[in-house]
């Protein structure tokens, strides 16, 4: 079944490249107007927004450091003015600084928690008034296989993604009666610059024999948006490396 999101407004944080860009394009292809958030890569975010607009729906690139409450408030005001109130939120923004236990600093830890976890809290709090008022909303958090496994980035990253899955379940339990679903997607080794540059140069550890694609992650996000009965769940994408 194809998903029709015509008339809906979506926000994808960290949408300038990689998984976020693929999700933004998939949402646009389904008919949603899409706000593409970015922090530094303005040209790339503008290019993604232009690609979404070329499909049909309106799209804008919106700068914000989503770990800052003030920046999130400004971003939401901009998106609401240009596209309308947000019906679909994809918390994808994240950083992955590869650190060993002895190299990890307090600053590294705090920044990772702020960008990977606190940002999801801030953005979710911002969308709730509208979603509650219309008794419909979809929130999808992009987690990682590192939330439940050792991972290759570091314990700070593990902690941030495990916290994100806890946040997912906490919101899901409290918002289900309002028609709002909250789920997570946990990719492991996906064909991204980050994976290729440091985590895995070849897919030798993956039973399926290849990296996952950006489009496969986006497919799961759209599945969660389209399913009104699924909430509080984390969908793993690991190519057979792990099972729930």
* Catalytically active residues, by annotation: 157
Alpha helices (H) in the chain, listed in sequence order: 18-29, 42-55, 69-82, 106-113, 119-134, 155-175, 193-194, 214-226
Helix axes 69-82, 119-134, angle to 10 degrees: 40
Which letter, b or e, does each residue of 56-77 get, where b requires 16 or more Cβ atoms within 10 Å of its Cβ? ebbbbbbbbbbbbeebbeebbe
């Amino acid at each position: 079944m194809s998903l029709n999101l015509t008339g809906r407004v979506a926000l994808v944080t960290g949408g300038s490249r990689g998984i976020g860009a693929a999700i933004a394009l998939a949402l646009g292809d389904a008919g949603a107007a899409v706000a593409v958030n970015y922090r530094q890569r303005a040209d790339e975010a503008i290019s993604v927004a232009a690609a979404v607009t070329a499909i049909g729906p309106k799209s804008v690139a919106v700068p914000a450091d989503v770990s800052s409450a003030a920046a999130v408030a400004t971003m939401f005001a901009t998106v609401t003015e240009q596209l309308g109130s947000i019906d679909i939120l994809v918390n994808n923004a994240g950083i992955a600084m590869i650190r060993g236990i002895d190299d990890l600093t307090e600053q590294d830890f705090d920044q990772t928690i702020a960008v990977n976890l606190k940002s999801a809290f801030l953005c979710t709090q911002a969308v709730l008034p509208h979603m509650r008022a219309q008794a419909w909303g979809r929130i999808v958090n992009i987690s990682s296989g590192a939330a439940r496994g050792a991972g290759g980035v570091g314990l700070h990253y593990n902690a941030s993604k495990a916290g994100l899955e806890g946040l997912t379940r906490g919101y899901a339990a409290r918002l289900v009666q309002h028609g709002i679903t909250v789920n997570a997607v946990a990719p492991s080794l996906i064909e991204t610059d980050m994976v290729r540059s440091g985590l895995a140069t070849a897919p030798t550890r993956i039973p399926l024999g290849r990296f996952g694609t950006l489009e496969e992650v986006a497919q799961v996000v759209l599945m969660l948006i389209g399913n009104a009965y699924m909430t509080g769940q984390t969908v793993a994408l690991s190519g057979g490396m792990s099972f729930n």
